[in-house]
Amino acid sequence: MSAHIFVVEDEKPIQTLLRYNLEKEGFKVSSSENGEEALSLIKEKKPDLILLDWMLPDLSGIKICQYLKHDKKVKDIPIIMLTAKGEEEDKVKGLESGAEDYLTKPFSFPELLARIKAMLRRVKPTAVNEEIIYLDLKVDRVAMKVYRQNKEVSLGPKEFKLLDFLITQPKRVYSREQLLEQVWGEDINVESRTVDVHITRLRQAINIDGSKPLIRTVRSAGYSLEN
98 binds its own copies (CB under 8 A): yes
Q: Does 21 bind its own copies (CB under 8 A)?
A: yes
Residue 114 near which of its own copies, DNA, none (CB within 5-8 Å, type-dependent): none
Decide which of its own copies, DNA, none touches 217; Cβ closer than 5 to 8 Å per partner kind. DNA
* Residue 197 binding partner per list its own copies, DNA, none, with a CB distance cut-off of 5 to 8 Å that depends on partner kind: DNA
User: Cα–Cα distances in Å, from 176 out to 161, 172, 198?
Assistant: 14, 13, 11
46 near its own copies, rule: CB under 8 A: no
Task: By CB under 8 A, tell whether 45 contacts its own copies.
Answer: no
Which of its own copies, DNA, none sits in contact with 196, Cβ below 5 to 8 A by type?
A: DNA
Sheet with 79-83, edge to edge strand ranges: 28-32, 4-8, 49-53, 79-83, 101-104
- Per CB under 7 A, residues contacting DNA are 156-159, 184, 188-191, 193-194, 196-201, 203-204, 217-222
159 binds, among its own copies, DNA, none (CB under 5 to 8 A by kind): DNA
Pairing of strands 49-53, 79-83: parallel
What φ, ψ does residue 25 adopt, rounded to 5°?
-80, -5
> Amino acid identity, residue 81?
M
Greatest CA separation found in the chain? Answer: 64
99 interacts with its own copies by CB under 8 A: yes
d(CA 35, CA 65): 10
If binding is defined by CB under 8 A, does position 144 make contact with its own copies?
yes
Pairing of strands 151-153, 145-148: antiparallel
3-state secondary structure of 2: coil
Using CB under 8 A as the binding rule, whether residue 16 contacts its own copies is answered as yes
Q: CA 11 to CA 55: how far, in whole Å?
A: 10
Residue type, 22: L
Q: Residue numbers of the site for its own copies (CB under 8 A)?
A: 11, 13-14, 16-17, 20-21, 24, 26, 28, 84-86, 88-89, 91-92, 94-96, 98-102, 104-106, 108, 118, 122, 142-144, 156-157, 169, 171-173, 178, 218-221, 224, 226
